[in-house]
Structure 1
Amino acid sequence: MTSGSLRGRTIVIVGAGPGFGHTLARRAAAQGATVVVAARTVSRVEEMAEAVRADDEVRRAGGTAIAAPVDATDPDSVRVLRETVEGHTDAVHGLVYSAFAVPSMKPLARTDHDQISAGIDLSVLGALRTTQEFTALLEAGAAGPATDAADAATSSVVMMASAVIHHSRERYAGYKIAKTALVALGHSLATELGPRGIRVNTVAPGYIYGDTLKAYFESLAGKYGGTLEDVYAHTAERMDLRRLPSEREIVDPVLFLLSDAASAVTGQTLTVDCGEFHT
């Protein structure tokens, strides 16, 4: 990814969290994009947008960030988000959907149906609501001039799935159901929206080694004995590269899919997991 490859673009991130979402917002803005960070917690997205705007690299690139609250399970809230974005621009060039529900982590025999429904509502139907609401703006973004890296201008939707789609380990079933459905949604939207110049892809991360995962590993170390490093090494043994991907290593493929360098890529699922699964 070259500096400025998203210059002048508007990128909307729905479900922007303090880890992956913040890193994506900062790095997209550092390439000159206007980034809309959207999530349920108003204070979180406002703090995130302020931090992105204050970043020296972002300032040099001419990027910026806008905070906007949204509840992706509420159609009215998603509509308000679109209206907020329309107040700043008449075209959107990229939409990243990363909102998800924390899985119940129980076998299906003991999983409440309401928990599965809630996961599908946020992870899958939320992605559909958001894409439907932003289709006209994304189509307008695809109508802009192409860079010399592409034969035709396109806009891009990237949905964040999970490498859980590749395994059937006990207790992950509810999460796998939602994320597998999200991949299927991405395939169908790619077919339907392709003629309008809108590309749709999914990224399936494995473990993302950031603060959240570190805290979880520390809890495992305290529960079973050993150290954070022991838990990390044990987990990384399953990866071909014998390590876990960082937040930046998950963000980079997303930035690629948002850029004109991926102008012919649509309907695909990219697994980023340091080689835990071969797909």
Structure 2
Amino acid sequence: MKGKVAVVSGVGPGVGVELVRLFVDEGVKVVMVARDGDRLRAIEAELGGAGGHIASVSGDIAQAGDCEAVARVAAERFGRVDTLVNNAFQMGPWGTLLDTVADERWSDAFDVNVRGILRMTRAMLPALEASKGTVVMVNSVAMRTYKPEVGCYAIAKSGLQAAARYLAMELAPRGIRVNSVVPGYIDGPPLQAAFERMAEAQGITAATVRDQVTRSLPLQHIPTSRDVAEAIAFLASPRSRAITGASLDVNAGEFLPQ
């Protein structure tokens, strides 16, 4: 993918920043998008601007104007877009469905996880059509399995899965491929914090919880942000040129989709 241009939304700690690092290592020019401008500037500083191959846009994909601004920056800085990685997400309220259904954060979750991602894709459409490019959606195993108290997020991500399949068919005549990566556990500070909460509830150590989870996975390995980023890069690259409408699960065998 050397010389290609990628737009990556939701660049924060974890998968987003790891994907930017991977792309830069492979010679890809990157437009980073996130609401936190300070974080974007810190990443640019860490990577030394990657020789002028990184641009940042502080914006909210729930706002159509912000999505259009990203498209303008990509055009002005790099002149093209070869891949769009829709990594931005919104959790929504925690709790059971009926306890949270009146919470306004349900609308926020759908406005980012589904409509926002569609807005972003629409803003990039002219550039993606010109390059016969790719779109990669970053989904979640939450939409495949039952995880307590994240029903709103799971339902929104299920909507994203349906959107990705429809887009794959709608954009195929334009030469644009649309695929999804579906992570399960992702090792890092948020997962470690979850292990600590689980450990406190069970009266055991976080190390014991981590060991239990690791042993429950067929590959005996908790996927890392780099593992997920590598899968995204594959679907963004010409190596997956005959693949569209697919979902690639990165979960060490935790869940096997039918």
1:117 deviation in Å? 1.7
Determine whether 1:187 maps to 2:148: no
Alignment-derived partner of residue 211 in structure 1: 189
Count of residues paired in the alignment: 256
**1:75 corresponds to which letter in structure 2?**
A
Alignment-derived partner of residue 147 in structure 1: none
Q: What is the CA–CA distance in structure 2 between the aligned matches of 1:156 and 1:37, rounded to whole Å?
A: 16
Determine whether 1:88 maps to 2:66: no
Alignment-derived partner of residue 133 in structure 1: 123
Distance 1:102 1:200, change over 3 A: same
Determine whether 1:116 maps to 2:106: yes
**1:88 corresponds to which letter in structure 2?**
R
Match of 1:240 among 194, 214, 218: 218
User: What's the RMSD between the two structures over aligned residues?
Assistant: 1.6
Q: What is the CA–CA distance in structure 1 between the aligned matches of 2:45 and 2:200, rounded to whole Å?
A: 36
Determine whether 1:45 maps to 2:40: yes
Alignment-derived partner of residue 7 in structure 1: 2
Percentage of matched positions with identical amino acids: 32
Match of 2:30 among 22, 29, 35: 35
Alignment-derived partner of residue 262 in structure 1: 240
1:139 deviation in Å? 1.1
SS in 1 for 2:179: strand
SS in 2 for 1:46: helix
Alignment-derived partner of residue 136 in structure 2: 158
Instruction: Provide Cα deviations, 1:161-183, integer angstroms capped at 9, x if missing partner.
Output: 10112113432211110111101
What 5-or-longer segments of structure 1 have no aligned partner? 1-5, 143-154
Instruction: Provide Cα deviations, 1:52-100, integer angstroms capped at 9, x if missing partner.
Output: 236xxx66xxx83211111011111111111111111231001001111
Q: What is the CA–CA distance in structure 1 between the aligned matches of 2:101 and 2:34, rounded to whole Å?
A: 26
Q: What is the CA–CA distance in structure 2 between the aligned matches of 1:23 and 1:135, rounded to whole Å?
A: 25
Alignment-derived partner of residue 58 in structure 2: 69
Q: What is the CA–CA distance in structure 2 between the aligned matches of 1:236 and 1:185, rounded to whole Å?
A: 32
Tell whether the 8 Å contact from 1:20 to 1:251 is kept in structure 2 after alignment. Answer: yes
Tell whether the 8 Å contact from 1:50 to 1:65 is kept in structure 2 after alignment. Answer: no
SS in 1 for 2:220: coil
**2:142 corresponds to which letter in structure 1?**
V
Q: What is the CA–CA distance in structure 2 between the aligned matches of 1:156 and 1:106, rounded to whole Å?
A: 35
Match of 1:172 among 126, 129, 150: 150
Q: TM-score, normalised by structure 1?
A: 0.87
1:49 deviation in Å? 2.2
Of stretches 82-91 and 133-142 in structure 1, the one that deviates more from structure 2 is 82-91
Of stretches 39-48 and 63-72 in structure 1, the one that deviates more from structure 2 is 63-72
Q: What is the CA–CA distance in structure 2 between the aligned matches of 1:50 and 1:255, rounded to whole Å?
A: 23
Alignment-derived partner of residue 78 in structure 1: 67
Instruction: Provide Cα deviations, 1:97-125, integer angstroms capped at 9, x if missing partner.
Output: 11111232211110134222211110111
Q: What is the CA–CA distance in structure 2 between the aligned matches of 1:194 and 1:33, rounded to whole Å?
A: 24
What 5-or-longer segments of structure 2 have no aligned partner? none
Q: What is the CA–CA distance in structure 1 between the aligned matches of 2:75 and 2:147, rounded to whole Å?
A: 43
Q: TM-score, normalised by structure 2?
A: 0.94
Tell whether the 8 Å contact from 2:55 to 2:77 is kept in structure 1 after alignment. Answer: no
Tell whether the 8 Å contact from 2:92 to 2:108 is kept in structure 1 after alignment. Answer: no
Instruction: Provide Cα deviations, 1:115-151, integer angstroms capped at 9, x if missing partner.
Output: 2221111011111000000000111222xxxxxxxxx
Alignment-derived partner of residue 230 in structure 2: 252
SS in 2 for 1:87: helix
